[in-house]
Amino acid sequence: MIIALKPGVNIEEVKKLTADLENLGVKIDASQGSSQIVLGLVGDTTVINDDALRANHLIERVIRVQEPYKRANRIFHPLDTVLEFPGAKIGGSSFTLIAGPCSVESRDQLVAVAEAVKKSGAAFLRGGAFKPRTSPYSFQGMGCEGIDLLVEAKKATGLPVVTELMEISQLELFEDIDMIQVGARNMQNFNLLKELGRSRKPILLKRGMASTMTELLMAAEYVMAGGNSQIVLCERGIRGFDNFTRNILDLSIVPALKKKTHLPVIVDPSHATGLSWMVPAMSKAAVAAGADGIIVEVHNDPEHALCDGEQSLTPGQFDSLMGVLRKYAEIEGKAI
């Protein structure tokens, strides 16, 4: 249930109203909109008498929310959520570029890619240290050593870093990591989501490969219910019947999410297509669809990459893409 208050209401009276509602057993999230306060009520709202509320002199509108996601719902929080990092933002009027290798492979590789993407204008460095691989015989990532190298690259370039956490026991290693990725395979690992709700680290939540938009938003809701609302949603392609591309990039989820939620939405054209030559076209399309950024795989030597070489751009290709995206972002009224 949403309660929109009248503009300019007396704060003491609002406190009394929220206390009365909390006594009925619901939790309240208050958010300040551009001109009025909006109260989001979560919990069993069947005990609340809508008509009595509508008669209250503080209240302009009472809306019952149909969707199962509440805290992630734009009705609860009409303004865009913007995540702030040292030297970078995600959401609002920014278009944010996250770039780096699929996996951290060595100091030389990571430093070369980090310096190159920074020079081109990327705002974040990505790189997997713990890798979810389909085969147990494939490279599983450098683990803790990979995390150390990411932190080194962050210090050397000043770029904030994002990397995937596969299980909660790894959380203590992520202290100097700026944003924690929850991969497609873990999107519905509810215990993990609950634990991340207790953390105050920003979360990059990737869409599961067979998940609906509501399921993605409910996964975000798990994290938000724990008190962590620093979440970025990521469309990374879903399973389809045609295997020409690695996945099917569902770009239509971008405007749909932007309508339904206040959380920032980014696109991963690398995992969506699996083919580096398609990444520029799909990146441009992501800007046009209204995304708040993209996460792109870049490798200094794609032919010898230990993971996802076929979908990785070279630093030169990434640099050209940046030039084009700046113009596209400008048309959309966003700044890179």
Binding site for Mn ion (CB under 5 A): 102, 308
Task: Compare residues 91 and 183 and give the one whose CB is closer to ligand PEP.
Answer: 183
Task: Compare residues 178 and 308 and give the one whose CB is closer to Mn ion.
Answer: 308
Among 128, 264, 269, 302, which residue sits at the site for ligand PEP (rule: CB under 6 A)? Answer: 128
CB 294 within 8 A of CB 264: no
Partner whose footprint covers residue 178, from Mn ion, ligand PEP, none (CB < 5 to 8 Å by kind): none
Partner whose footprint covers residue 286, from ligand PEP, Mn ion, none (CB < 5 to 8 Å by kind): none
131 burial type by CB count under 10 A (0-12 exposed, 13-18 middle, 19+ buried): buried
Q: Residue 136: which residues within 8 A CB-CB, separation 6 or more?
A: none
Residue 145 and residue 124: Cα distance in Å, rounded? Answer: 20
Task: Compare residues 90 and 306 and give the one whose CB is closer to Mn ion.
Answer: 306
Partner whose footprint covers residue 221, from ligand PEP, Mn ion, none (CB < 5 to 8 Å by kind): none
Cα angle 66, 70, 75 (rounded to 5 degrees) comes to 75
Contacts with ligand PEP in 64-93 (CB under 6 A)? Answer: none
* Min separation Cβ 270 and ligand PEP, Å: 8
The phi and psi torsions of 7 (rounded to 5 degrees) equal -60, 140
User: In Å, what is the CA distance from 183 to each residue of 6, 205, 277?
Assistant: 41, 7, 23
Partner whose footprint covers residue 184, from ligand PEP, Mn ion, none (CB < 5 to 8 Å by kind): ligand PEP
Residue 117 and residue 138: Cα distance in Å, rounded? Answer: 27
Binding mask 205-244 for ligand PEP (x = CB under 6 A): -x-----------------------------x--------
Cα angle 166, 167, 168 (rounded to 5 degrees) comes to 135
Task: Compare residues 105 and 268 and give the one whose CB is closer to ligand PEP.
Answer: 268
Binding mask 171-190 for ligand PEP (x = CB under 6 A): ------------xxx-----
Task: Compare residues 157 and 311 and give the one whose CB is closer to Mn ion.
Answer: 311
Query: Which token pair is 35?
Result: 């001109």
State in Å, rounded, how far the first CA of the chain is from the last one.
Answer: 37
Among 71, 271, 284, 334, which residue sits at the site for ligand PEP (rule: CB under 6 A)? Answer: 271
Query: Which token pair is 130?
Result: 């713990």
Binding-site ranges for ligand PEP (CB under 6 A) = 102, 128, 132, 183-185, 206, 236, 268, 271
